[in-house]
Structure 1
Amino acid sequence: MDFMKPETVLNLDNIRQALVRMEDTIVFGLIERSQFYLSPSVYEVDKFSIPDFHGSFLDWALLQMEQTHSQIRRYEAPDETPFFPTKLLKSILPPINYPKVLASYSDEINVNDEIKEFYINQIVPQVSCHSGDQQENLGSVSTSDIESLQAISRRIHFGKFVAEAKYQSNKEMYKKLILAKDVAGIEASITNSAVEQKILERLIEKGESYGTDPSMKFSQNPQSKVKPELIAQLYKDWIIPLTKKVEIDYLLRRLEDED
């Protein structure tokens, strides 16, 4: 996939390959997070006194990261969606003129608030090794969280490319569904239960492989760092449904860009 070549970006095989690679990043990110305590102080609003900032320590750290990355063009890339889109800084590097692939409103479709909420409230409590805080690791926890959040966000918002590719492959069908505001019909058209089941099975295999000490591979108690079933459940309950939401939201507005 080359974002300077639109035909490679809207190739469904290339999109699937990219999504499979993102699985690796997400699995490793959760394994990394599992070595730390729950660390509720990181998520508590105004727990720490930060000048001119209202929010959690994680929010502050994430904002600093995004502002720095915005200065090196990260959020000019069409596959990146910031958590703080209104607070990005001007890039120090000259701009890249990416060919137009997605609809003009694509940046307005942003579910990062929902991603952050389910990550903090549903995922962190299940992958953390213990409850409570470890004061010496609060910075490490926030760094690990940011890496996981960015990986999950990229994967979910990649649904925009899936939606555009499917729209281009059958414009007449989607025009009818969009004009009728047929959300159920759109969801049915983008759903492939067999593929989703293969994703869940592959995630369990990856969780078993990546999260287990190779020396204990054949042990009766392999001691996986994160339960592989948990990773699959994360996809089933949150990542796949939110990806569909992104696709549906994108497709419902797709005729805005048609003459």
Structure 2
Amino acid sequence: MDFMKPETVLDLNNIRQALVRMEDTIVFDLIERSQFYSSPSVYERNKFNIPDFDGSFLDWALLQMEKAHSQIRRYEAPDEIPFFPNQILKPILPSINYPKILAKYAADINVNDDIKKFYVNEIVPQISCKDGEQQENLGSVSTQDIECLQAISRRIHFGKFVAESKYQNDKGLYIKLIQKGDIAGIEASITNSAVEQKIIERLVIKGQSYGVDPSLRYSQNPQSKIQPEIIAKVYKDWIIPLTKKVEIDYLLRRLEDEDEDEIAKYQ
């Protein structure tokens, strides 16, 4: 997949391979986060006295990271969506003139607030090794949280490329569904239950493989770092549904960026 070559990005085989690689990143990031306590103070609004900032310590740390990453062009890439899009900085490196891949409104499709909410409220309590605080690890916790959030965000927002690929492969179907505002029809067209089940099964296997010391794998007490079923649940309950939301939101607006003559072909 080469973002300078749109045809490679919209190839569904390339998209599937990219999504599988993202699974590995997310699994490893969740495993890394699981070594720390739940650390609720990291997520409490204005718990720490941070000058000229209203939010949690995680929000502040994430904003600083995004400011730095924006200066090295991270958010010029079509597959990266910031959590603080209105506060990132201009790149120091020369801009890259990426060819058009997605519709002109693609950056407006941003569910990062939802991602951060379910991550803090649902995922952190389930994967943390213990409840409570470790004052010496608050910085490490926030750093690892950022890794998790960025990986999950990229995976979910990759749904835009899935949606665009499916639209290009069957314009007739999608133009009719979009014109009718048929959300149920769009959701049915993008849903493959068999593939989703394979993803869940694969994640359980990856959790078992990556989360256990190889020397203990065949012992009676393998001591998994994180329960594989939790990783599968993260995908089933949050990542897959939010990815579908991104795809549907993207497709519902797709005719905003379509030539009228092209639409007329399918009337």
Q: Same fold (TM over 0.5)?
A: yes
Residue matched to 1:19: 19
Q: Which amino acid aligns with 1:57?
A: F
In the alignment, the residues of structure 2 paired with residue 175 and residue 79 of structure 1 have an alpha-carbon distance, to the nearest angstrom, of: 24
In the alignment, the residues of structure 1 paired with residue 170 and residue 145 of structure 2 have an alpha-carbon distance, to the nearest angstrom, of: 39
Q: Which amino acid aligns with 2:11?
A: N
Residue matched to 1:82: 82
Percentage of pairs with the same residue: 79
Residue matched to 2:231: 231
Aligned pairs (5 A) from 1:40-189:
40-189=40-189
Residue matched to 1:190: 190
Aligned pairs (5 A) from 1:216-227:
216-227=216-227
Q: Which amino acid aligns with 1:80?
A: E
SS at match of 1:2: coil
In the alignment, the residues of structure 2 paired with residue 194 and residue 52 of structure 1 have an alpha-carbon distance, to the nearest angstrom, of: 49
Deviation (angstroms), 1:223:
1.1
Which whole-Å deviations, capped at 9, do the CAs of 1:16-73 have from their partners, x for residues lacking one? 0000000000000000001000000100000000010000000000000000000000
SS at match of 2:86: helix
**Runs of 4+ with deviation above 3 angstroms:** none
Deviation (angstroms), 1:221:
1.9
SS at match of 2:83: coil
Deviation (angstroms), 1:195:
0.3
Residue matched to 1:31: 31
Q: Which amino acid aligns with 2:62?
A: L
Q: Which amino acid aligns with 1:66?
A: E
Deviation (angstroms), 1:187:
0.2
Deviation (angstroms), 1:138:
0.1
Q: Which amino acid aligns with 2:95?
A: P
Deviation (angstroms), 1:99:
0.3
Which whole-Å deviations, capped at 9, do the CAs of 1:182-213 have from their partners, x for residues lacking one? 00000000000000000000000000000001
Residue matched to 2:245: 245
Q: Which amino acid aligns with 1:88?
A: I
In the alignment, the residues of structure 1 paired with residue 190 and residue 209 of structure 2 have an alpha-carbon distance, to the nearest angstrom, of: 30
In the alignment, the residues of structure 2 paired with residue 120 and residue 174 of structure 1 have an alpha-carbon distance, to the nearest angstrom, of: 35
Task: Give the length in aligned residue pairs.
Answer: 259
Q: Which amino acid aligns with 2:44?
A: E
SS at match of 1:221: coil
Q: Which runs of 5+ in 1 are unaligned?
A: none
In the alignment, the residues of structure 1 paired with residue 31 and residue 68 of structure 2 have an alpha-carbon distance, to the nearest angstrom, of: 26
Measured on the aligned residues, the alpha-carbon RMSD in Å equals 0.4
SS at match of 1:85: coil
Are residues 1:204 and 2:204 paired?
A: yes
In the alignment, the residues of structure 2 paired with residue 212 and residue 55 of structure 1 have an alpha-carbon distance, to the nearest angstrom, of: 36
SS at match of 1:187: helix
Q: Which amino acid aligns with 2:77?
A: A
Q: Which amino acid aligns with 1:175?
A: I
What is the TM-score of this pair, normalised by structure 2?
A: 0.97
Q: Which amino acid aligns with 2:185?
A: G
Deviation (angstroms), 1:220:
2.0
What is the TM-score of this pair, normalised by structure 1?
A: 1.00
